[in-house]
Amino acid sequence: MAKAKRKPAKAPQPKAPKKKSMKLFYSPIHGFIHKVLVVAHEAGLWDDIEFVPIYPMRDGYSVAAINPLHKVPTLALKDGTVLYGSQTIAEYLDTVGKTKKKLYPKNGPARWDALRRLALADTMFEVTVTMTLEKGEVPMRASVFSWYWPKVERALDQMEKDAAKFKGFDIGQASTLHALSYLDRQCGRGLKPPVPENYNWRKGRPKLTAWWNKALKRPSVTSHFNKDFVGPDTPEFAAAQVAEVLAAQGKKGTSRTPQKVDYHYLG
């Protein structure tokens, strides 16, 4: 009797890798602890993330098409929603995280203290990034002005798109007022090329301009915008106030020598 031909066993097929629900564009720098990676891990989301290396200072890498600021980290969700600003990303991951323990405490002193420490460390980090750019030793593509200016223009274009959908008034709008008014002031005083002389962001951005003109009427803006400060503003007054705070903390005098810097150019 002829032997029945055995069907050759099918080699186990590798399963198509599951589509991750988010993509995190970030710089995997050796020796650098990423806040958003820490949060992603703590939140139990590690396996839901496609990690996408971006080296923003090297040729060929760009996230400008999805993030006008061309900065990492940038997080893209499955539905195309893009979040940027590590603070936004971190809070998002913490919120949608699978673990019970949250890194953002609920309202109350613990939350404000955590947010204060977040701002402290993040600002220190950004200052260090700017110093690194300024050093210009590593392969730099441009000066700080030519590197940053396209970010500003792209951010303004994004604001124009966002302004069409602005509803009510929120922290995003408050910070848009903050950024635009500062840009106006500094462009009026002159920056450096390629920033155009007397640059006016309103040109070609009718929606943002209309929103701006309306927002300027908010009492929260008229309360201080374009008004001179009225009240004591001497260094002595400030020092006395600081001393009061220190006293309230049970300390005497200042613990550090004040830095002697001419801050006028920043005004």
> Which residues bind to ligand GSH, rule: CB under 6 A?
27, 56, 70-73, 85-87, 122, 126, 129
Least separation in angstroms between residue 194's CB and ligand GSH is: 15
Least separation in angstroms between residue 114's CB and ligand GSH is: 16
Strand partners, 266: none
Least separation in angstroms between residue 200's CB and ligand GSH is: 24
Cβ-based nearer residue to ligand GSH, 182 or 237: 182
Cβ-based nearer residue to ligand GSH, 24 or 163: 24
Least separation in angstroms between residue 111's CB and ligand GSH is: 19
* Strand, coil or helix: 74: strand
Beta-strand runs (E) in the chain: 22-26, 49-53, 74-77, 82-84
Spatial separation of the C-alpha atoms in residues 111 and 103, rounded to whole Å: 9
Backbone angles phi, psi at 132, to 5 degrees: -65, -45
Cβ-based nearer residue to ligand GSH, 91 or 160: 91
Q: Residue 60: count other Cβ atoms within 10 Å of its Cβ.
A: 6
Backbone angles phi, psi at 197, to 5 degrees: -65, 140
Spatial separation of the C-alpha atoms in residues 15 and 96, rounded to whole Å: 27
Cβ-based nearer residue to ligand GSH, 42 or 122: 122
**73 prior amide bond cis, ω within 30:** yes
**194 prior amide bond cis, ω within 30:** yes
Least separation in angstroms between residue 220's CB and ligand GSH is: 24
Strand partners, 26: 53
Cβ-based nearer residue to ligand GSH, 56 or 97: 56
Cβ-based nearer residue to ligand GSH, 43 or 155: 155
Spatial separation of the C-alpha atoms in residues 263 and 240, rounded to whole Å: 20
Least separation in angstroms between residue 48's CB and ligand GSH is: 20
